[in-house]
């Protein structure tokens, strides 16, 4: 659900960091791009898909596959890009660490979009640490212009130094817009595939040589980085020198426009010569960086200098200008403290009309619950459902359910099922299901198939019948996949048929064998309403029993002892409240809306 | 040097906050400003509290507005106006749609929707309530509430009128242009 790009004015566009990375890929001749959607990275590939036909762009089933296909394309001499959220890089870590040894033929850019503050993530890992561990170059842009330019820089570095390059962005870079000078596309020929076994097969005898090359490469890059325009010194009052990178640079400029600072654009390997020069210029050093003390620990251990950093700026959460102001000018604030009211929280909720609502309503009604996964349906944990109680990472719902059964048996597991979306199942749930079958588990896996990768804004996946560009694609048949894993009991059901949904749960709770329920109904984002239809309450009939409130529908609030159904929010092809009302007090014209 | 103007547009997911801030950015850019805007996508958009920060002027560094510095806060929902009020500068303007959207925490009985108007009076928060929902209803399209509101906010933002209409033209789908221009004009009339 991207907004359209604006038009070029005086050679500039107002672009988000993600759009700028897409533009940068196009301008610098990228041939091929692949990603698995993940906030805050998703719009990079969406923008390429919508705007830049010259780049062959596709969704991968997961981040590991995405990195492998771009590695192959690089081996064949194409310029390539893979994008993912920070935790996606964990999935892709296996190819990443060895691709670092193999290097690049066509330039390789990997974008890691970290999420400090966890706006839409389960942890706030700082992937500069991953870049260092994998011994690859890490670039950190501080606005959209830098994000665009760094893609070109990254491709040159990648080809000149034979290395993958990680561009590490954060939510505030990805989803902030700023003005970007744009240029034309520069076509770069695909070099072609040439066999080079010593370079691409890391059997130990080859890999040892590769590792030596990697170590040498990092030393050369550090020297190069001190001369590169990626890193720079801004001179000012030398009583204090600030070392900063990424979005933190913008906050420092906002709060201390005249500061003497070192802006790091390449944070791995660090430009040691430039850092040494800067330290020699200033009396005292302060590190302003979001996340882990990455720059601080490395610089202080190399030069053994006294300095301030994480003792005044937390490594938890996201920075903002106020926090940087308080750190650099203690005791000052622009905030007016006239207001200290506690307001009701407004957490996210399943949309009106959401297919998952039927499943969680029934599960909750039967006092059942679930081991959960990553997607909109994680919201099954919220009241009034309270029907999801674990989440780790993509695909983990299935393994966690199996493990609980191994520890406490079928009886101890009670009415727990694994709840996983179809896209997440394809991403990394299938192996969990194979494990369940292979090791004799008896639980129930609920694959919540809403025909869309929804949480990230609505992307296609291998089960939807369309590719990234919306063109027809083969459909992965989930029933056949599950069947071929060895599952004997498979039920496919519309989760908005509450009677049937409840019946299926009851039967599967009783069953002593492994089963899979596929709840199949399209996400509301797939549905183009043909007409407006609103549920209507007959206040005479309503007995105020509040059963409709157990649906957790944002369109229904409770006013004057009766449900109040919002005509703004009520979703056309949903009649769950009509179904649950025991006295037929709610009606809705559903003709032509199925 | 043109000073930086700070605007926060807030409300709940799905209310068209992003489009409203797109229109503002476009108008500011056409008027020759450096512009930055920042918002959060993903899980927060599923009916949760959503905000978009817009800053424009000669040169903008931080994409985020600092607490106590917003020249204008435009809220699409009453309680959200109260939530963001600490960002208002002492000389700023707070505009809110008089719409009430109860969060799930209220629907499930875990919290009570506050009496926003009297809380604002108690705290001396000057707030202009805008009947944007009614205007959108009159126009026969409930989806233009956001454009009515950005119209109502526009006289408080230092950008010439022409740029606003050009920005609406640039950002809204062409088939809905007429109703959106009308929505903007009606909103603007409320404030001039």
What is residue A339's predicted lDDT score, i.e. its pLDDT? Answer: 64
Q: Are B37 and A176 a contacting pair at CB < 8 A?
A: yes
Q: What is the pLDDT of residues A148-184, one digit of tens each?
A: 999 999 999 999 999 999 999 999 999 999 999 999 9
3-state secondary structure A532-585: CCCCEECCCCCCCCCHHHHHCCCCEEEECCEEEECCCCCCCCCCHHHHHCCCCC
Quick one: average pLDDT of A382-388?
A: 96
**Structural domains counted in chain B:** 1
Search chain A and give the residue with CA nearest B107: A557
Q: What is the pLDDT of residues B156-191, one digit of tens each?
A: 999 999 999 999 999 999 999 999 999 999 999 999
How confident is residue B106, by pLDDT bands cut at 50, 70 and 90? very high
- Structure tokens, B185: 């004009």
B64 touching A, CB under 8 A? yes
What is residue B46's predicted lDDT score, i.e. its pLDDT? Answer: 73
pTM above threshold 0.90: yes
- Calculate the CA A579 to chain-centre distance: 36
What is residue A333's predicted lDDT score, i.e. its pLDDT? Answer: 82
Architecture in CATH of A536-587:
2-Layer Sandwich (3.30)
Q: So what CATH class is A356-526?
A: alpha beta
Show residues of chain B in contact with A253, CB under 8 Å. Answer: 61-62
Domain boundaries, chain A: 12-191+201-225, 232-328, 356-526, 536-587
Main-chain phi, psi angles of B168, to 5 degrees: -60, -45
B46 touching A, CB under 8 A? yes
> What CATH code is assigned to A12-191+201-225?
3.40.50.970
Quick one: average pLDDT of A12-29?
A: 97
Q: Are A9 and B30 a contacting pair at CB < 8 A?
A: yes
Find the length of chain B.
192
Give the residue numbers spanning the domain of B28.
5-191
- Structure tokens, A164: 């993958």
Angle in degrees, CA B135, B140, B146, rounded to 5: 50
- Calculate the CA A268 to chain-centre distance: 23
What is residue A519's predicted lDDT score, i.e. its pLDDT? Answer: 98
The DSSP code sequence of A319-347 is: --HHHHHHHHSTT----------------
Which one of A9, A46, A177 makes the best mutation probe of the B interface by having the most chain B beta carbons within 10 Å? A177
Specify the DSSP class assigned to residue B67: T
Specify the DSSP class assigned to residue B18: H
CATH number at residue B123: 3.40.920.10
Asked if A474 and A447 touch (Cβ cutoff 8 Å), the reply is no
Does domain A232-328 fall under CATH 3.40.50.920? My reply is yes
Q: Is the pLDDT of residue A3 over 80?
A: no
- Structure tokens, A468: 């990234």
Q: Is the pLDDT of residue A590 over 60?
A: yes
Search chain A and give the residue with CA nearest B89: A336
Q: Is the pLDDT of residue B9 over 60?
A: yes
Q: Which of A95, A101, A89 is nearest to A71 (CA)?
A: A95
The DSSP code sequence of A90-158 is: HHTHHHHHHHHHH--SS-EEEEEEE-TT-SS-S----THHHHHHHT-EEE--SSHHHHHHHHHHHHHHH
Helices (H) and strands (E) in chain A, counts: 21, 23
Quick one: average pLDDT of B21-27?
A: 96
- Structure tokens, A304: 């053994």
How confident is residue A2, by pLDDT bands cut at 50, 70 and 90? low
Angle in degrees, CA A268, A272, A273, rounded to 5: 140
**Average model confidence (pLDDT) across chain A:** 96
Q: What is the pLDDT of residues A292-321, one digit of tens each?
A: 999 999 999 999 998 999 999 999 999 999
Show residues of chain B in contact with A454, CB under 8 Å. Answer: none
Q: What is the pLDDT of residues A184-204, one digit of tens each?
A: 999 999 999 999 999 999 999
Show residues of chain A in contact with B69, CB under 8 Å. Answer: 334
Q: Which residues contact A477 (CB under 8 A, 6 or more apart)?
A: none
The reply to whether domains A232-328 and A356-526 share a CATH topology is yes
What is residue A131's predicted lDDT score, i.e. its pLDDT? Answer: 98
Search chain A and give the residue with CA nearest B44: A348
Q: Is the pLDDT of residue B45 over 70?
A: no
| C-alpha to C-alpha distance for A2 and A525, rounded to whole angstroms | 13
């Amino acid at each position: 659900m991207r907004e359209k790009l604006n038009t070029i004015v005086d050679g500039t566009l107002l672009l988000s960091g993600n759009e700028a990375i897409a533009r940068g890929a196009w301008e610098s001749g990228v041939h091929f791009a692949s990603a698995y959607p993940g906030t805050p990275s998703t719009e990079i590939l969406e923008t390429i898909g919508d705007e830049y036909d010259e780049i062959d762009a596709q969704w991968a089933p997961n981040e590991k596959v995405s990195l492998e296909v771009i590695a192959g394309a690089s081996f064949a001499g194409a310029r390539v890009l893979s994008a993912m959220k920070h935790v996606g890089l964990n999935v892709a870590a296996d190819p990443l660490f060895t691709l670092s040894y193999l290097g690049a033929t066509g330039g390789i850019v990997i974008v890691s979009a970290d999420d400090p503050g966890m706006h839409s993530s389960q942890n706030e890992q700082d992937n500069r640490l991953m870049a260092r561990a994998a011994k690859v170059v890490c670039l950190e842009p501080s606005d959209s212009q830098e994000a665009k330019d760094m893609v070109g820089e990254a491709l040159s570095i990648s080809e000149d130094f034979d290395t993958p390059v990680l561009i590490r962005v954060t939510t505030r870079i990805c989803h902030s817009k700023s003005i970007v000078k744009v240029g034309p596309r520069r076509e770069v020929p695909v070099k072609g595939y040439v066999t080079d076994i010593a370079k691409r097969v890391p059997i130990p005898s080859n890999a040892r040589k590769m590792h030596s090359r990697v170590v040498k490469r990092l030393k050369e890059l550090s020297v190069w980085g001190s001369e590169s325009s990626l890193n720079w010194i801004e001179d000012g009052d030398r009583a204090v020198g600030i070392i900063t990178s990424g979005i933190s640079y913008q906050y420092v400029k906002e709060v201390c426009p005249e500061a003497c600072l070192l802006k790091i654009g390449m944070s791995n390997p660090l430009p040691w010569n430039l850092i040494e020069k800067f330290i020699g210029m200033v009396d005292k050093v302060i590190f302003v960086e979001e996340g882990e003390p990455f720059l601080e620990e490395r610089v202080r251990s190399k030069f053994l200098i006294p300095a301030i950093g994480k003792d005044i700026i937390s490594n938890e959460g996201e920075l903002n200008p106020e926090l940087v102001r308080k750190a650099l000018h203690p005791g000052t604030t622009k905030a007016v403290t006239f207001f200290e009211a506690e307001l009701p929280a407004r957490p996210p909720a399943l949309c009106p009309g959401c297919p998952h609502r039927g499943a969680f309503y029934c599960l909750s009604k039967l006092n059942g619950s679930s081991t959960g996964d990553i997607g909109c349906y994680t919201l099954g944990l919220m009241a009034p459902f309270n029907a999801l109680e674990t989440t780790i990472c993509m695909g983990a719902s299935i393994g966690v359910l199996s493990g609980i059964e191994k520890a406490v048996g079928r009886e101890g597991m009670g009415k727990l099922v694994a709840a996983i979306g179809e896209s997440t199942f394809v991403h990394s749930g299938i192996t969990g299901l194979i494990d369940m079958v292979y090791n004799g588990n008896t639980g129930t896996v609920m694959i919540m198939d809403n025909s869309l990768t929804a949480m990230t804004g609505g992307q296609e996946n291998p089960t939807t019948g369309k590719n990234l560009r919306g063109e027809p694609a083969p459909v992965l048949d989930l029933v056949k996949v599950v069947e071929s894993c060895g599952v004997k009991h498979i039920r496919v059901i519309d989760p908005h048929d509450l009677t049937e949904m409840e019946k299926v749960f009851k039967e599967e709770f009783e069953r002593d064998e492994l089963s899979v329920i596929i709840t199949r109904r399209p996400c509301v984002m797939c549905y183009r309403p043909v007409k407006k239809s609103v549920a209507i309450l007959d206040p005479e009939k309503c007995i105020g029993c509040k059963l409709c409130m157990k649906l957790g529908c944002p369109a229904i609030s409770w006013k004057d002892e009766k449900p109040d159904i919002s005509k703004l929010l009520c979703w056309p092809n949903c009649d769950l409240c009509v179904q649950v009302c025991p006295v037929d007090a709610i009606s809705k014209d559903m003709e032509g809306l199925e | 040097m043109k000073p930086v103007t700070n605007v926060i547009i807030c409300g709940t997911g799905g209310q068209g906050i992003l489009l409203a801030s797109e229109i503002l950015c476009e108008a500011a850019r056409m008027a020759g400003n450096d512009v930055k805007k920042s918002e959060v996508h993903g899980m927060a958009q599923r009916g949760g509290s959503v905000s978009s920060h817009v800053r424009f002027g000669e040169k903008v560094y931080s994409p985020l507005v600092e607490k106590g510095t917003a020249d204008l806060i435009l809220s699409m929902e009453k309680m959200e106006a109260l939530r963001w009020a600490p960002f208002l500068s002492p000389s700023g303007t707070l505009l809110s749609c008089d719409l009430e959207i109860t969060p799930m925490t209220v629907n499930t009985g875990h919290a009570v929707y506050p009496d926003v108007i009297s809380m604002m009076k108690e705290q001396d928060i000057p707030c202009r309530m805008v009947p944007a929902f009614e205007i959108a209803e009159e126009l026969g399209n409930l989806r233009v509430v956001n454009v009515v509101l950005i119209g109502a906010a526009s006289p408080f933002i230092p950008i010439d009128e022409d740029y606003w209409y050009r920005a609406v033209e640039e950002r809204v789908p062409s088939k809905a242009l007429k109703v959106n221009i009308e929505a903007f004009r009606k909103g603007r009339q409320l404030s001039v």
